[in-house]
């Protein structure tokens, strides 16, 4: 049995002074987080909190980087997903419309293929941008779209109040405060837009699943969302906003719905490009191997 002695004057008598994570950062051969942008936010921004000074140390900074997560592309594959109403894929999108109709009928939404369907599958916690989710739902309804939320968490009460008052009996908005893996699959398969307005997001999987299922991501530019969703250039595959206020997300919703209503060719190009993106673990695994071999992160 260890006893406090002069050999351990700092941390054994005062365990609150010991930070095992800091020790790991200092003594590890490599330190990696789950996206390049989040690594930058942790080392140069405020994402690392009190460990920022540790990450800024030259010896730690030299071995610190970020590698994007991937998703299980066998589990999340609209061509073979047994939890959705009809299979589909790039070049064979008829099943996408069938999934949308099936969901609209099942949830009591107006069955309307022309109405853009915005879904949000998330934990209802502050990190996920609760006020931004709420504003996006209201704005979607104001613009004639449909919105579906699936999630549970700290903010259940706020959304329950919305469901019972502002959207009671609505055929355009459904707020489901529960957890359901089958329903999540059905939502991605039906969605035209997937909403991910996180205040911070080390990587995020929702937007990657959305890309895979032809649900064009609408995200806030942070962490892994910034690394996977692009709104300009040859890699454009979604809609991105910068701020943390209601106006910022409402403007981005407007951009997405304007594209749906008035520039459908552009919207479908974003959808097709996103479905063709490689969001598998293959590229990530190669990056991890290179990083651990000392060749740097992405």
Residues 55 and 98 in one domain: no
Is residue 49 situated within a structural domain?
A: yes
Between the two ends of the chain, the Cα-to-Cα distance in Å is 45
Look-up of token digits 């064979």 = 92
293, exposed or middle or buried, with CB in 10 Å at 0-12, 13-18, 19+? Answer: exposed
User: pLDDT higher for 24 or 3?
Assistant: 24
Residue 99 and residue 45 share a domain = no
Same domain assignment for residues 105 and 59: no
**Residue 59 resides in a domain:** yes
Domain count for the chain = 2
The reply to whether 184 and 55 lie within a common domain is no
User: Rounded distance, CA 213 to CA 191, Å?
Assistant: 8
Q: What CA–CA distance (Å, rounded) separates 34 from 201? A: 10
Higher pLDDT: 3 or 158? It is 158
Is residue 89 domain-resident?
no
Task: Starting at the earlier edge strand, list the strands of the sheet with 193-196.
Answer: 173-176, 146-152, 117-123, 193-196, 216-220, 239-241
Q: What is the pLDDT of residues 25-74, one digit of tens each?
A: 999 999 999 999 999 999 888 888 888 889 999 999 999 999 999 999 99
Same-domain pairing of 31 and 106: no
CATH number of the domain enclosing 216 = 3.40.50.2000
Here the tokens at position 39 are 């690594």
Residue 11 sits in the same domain as residue 104: no
Computed over every residue of the chain, the mean pLDDT equals 93
Q: Looking at the structure, do residues 220 and 289 belong to the same domain, yes or no? A: no
The boundaries of the domain holding residue 207 are 94-276
> pLDDT, tens digit, for every residue of 111-159?
999 999 999 999 999 999 999 999 999 999 999 999 999 999 999 999 9
Both 266 and 284 in a single domain? no
DSSP for 224-272?
Answer: HHHHH--SSSTT--SEEE--SSHHHHHHHHHHHHHHHHH-HHHHHHHHH
- Choose among 11, 16, 90: nearest CA to 272: 90
């Amino acid at each position: 049995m260890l006893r406090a002695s002069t050999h351990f004057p700092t941390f054994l008598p005062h365990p609150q002074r010991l930070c095992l994570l800091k020790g790991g950062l200092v003594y590890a051969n490599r330190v990696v987080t789950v996206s390049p942008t989040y690594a930058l936010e942790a080392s140069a921004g405020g994402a690392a909190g009190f460990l920022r000074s540790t990450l800024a140390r030259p010896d730690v900074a030299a071995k610190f980087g970020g590698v994007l997560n991937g998703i299980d592309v066998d589990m999340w594959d609209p061509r073979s997903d047994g939890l959705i109403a009809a299979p589909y894929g790039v070049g064979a999108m008829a099943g996408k419309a069938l999934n949308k109709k099936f969901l609209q009928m099942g949830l009591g939404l107006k069955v309307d293929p022309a109405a853009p369907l915005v879904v949000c599958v998330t934990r209802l916690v502050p990190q996920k941008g609760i006020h931004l989710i709420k504003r996006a739902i209201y704005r979607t309804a104001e613009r004639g779209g449909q919105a579906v939320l699936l999630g549970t968490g700290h903010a259940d009460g706020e959304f329950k109040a919305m469901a019972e008052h502002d959207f009671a009996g609505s055929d355009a908005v459904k707020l489901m405060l529960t957890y359901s893996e089958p329903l999540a699959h059905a939502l991605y398969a039906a969605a035209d837009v997937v909403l991910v307005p996180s205040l911070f997001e080390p990587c995020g999987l929702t937007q990657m699943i959305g890309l895979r299922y032809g649900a064009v991501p609408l995200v806030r530019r942070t962490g892994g969302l910034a690394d996977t969703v692009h709104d300009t250039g040859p890699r454009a595959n979604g809609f991105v906003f910068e701020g943390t206020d209601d106006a910022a997300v409402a403007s981005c919703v407007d951009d997405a719905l304007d594209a749906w209503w008035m520039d459908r060719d552009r919207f479908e190009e974003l959808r097709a490009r996103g479905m063709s993106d490689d969001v598998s673990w293959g590229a990530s695994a190669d990056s991890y191997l290179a990083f651990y071999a000392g060749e740097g992160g992405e």
